Structure 1
């Protein structure tokens, strides 16, 4: 197993990269999820898979490890979808 990330800044960058890949490979689901306010349901499997990968790579000793991943979802997937027409904005 590769050495785990112990730096919170690097962990956040990794989370952003993982979520960015999810958004890149699922643009239709992202757009539909934003339009219909069900993005977390539509991408549940992909986001969980990404979270598991994140947990494998990032030390559990980092305080707020899951919050870093959740923040990356908002920063990368939700904020960047702001141009998509939706009742949630």
Structure 2
């Protein structure tokens, strides 16, 4: 079994990579979710699967582990979707 990530910077980098893959492979869902202000509902399954994968790679006792993943969602998926027209902007 590979060593778990216990550095917050590396964990955040991993979270960003996971969320980036989710956004890349689900571009239509991202656009639809932003337009209709339901992105977390539309991508609930994919985001949870990504979180589970993140948990398998990051040490459980790393402070703020879940917040790192949540921040990656905002930084990677939501901010990059700012060009999509939506009432939420």
Length-normalised TM-score, structure 1: 0.99
**Partner of residue 47, structure 2:** 47
The alignment status of 1:32 with 2:37, answered yes or no, reads: no
Corresponding position: 1:71 with 2:80? no
Unaligned runs of 5+ in 2: none
- Across the two proteins, how many residue pairs are aligned to each other? 89
User: For the residues of structure 2 that align with 1:84 and 1:77, how far apart are their CA atoms?
Assistant: 11
Q: Shift of residue 79 of structure 1? A: 0.1
Task: Name the counterpart of 1:6.
Answer: 6
1: CA distance, partners of 2:10 / 2:27? 26
Counterpart of 1:59 in structure 2 is 59
Root mean square deviation, CA, Å: 0.4
* Superposition misfits of 4+ residues, deviation over 3 angstroms: none
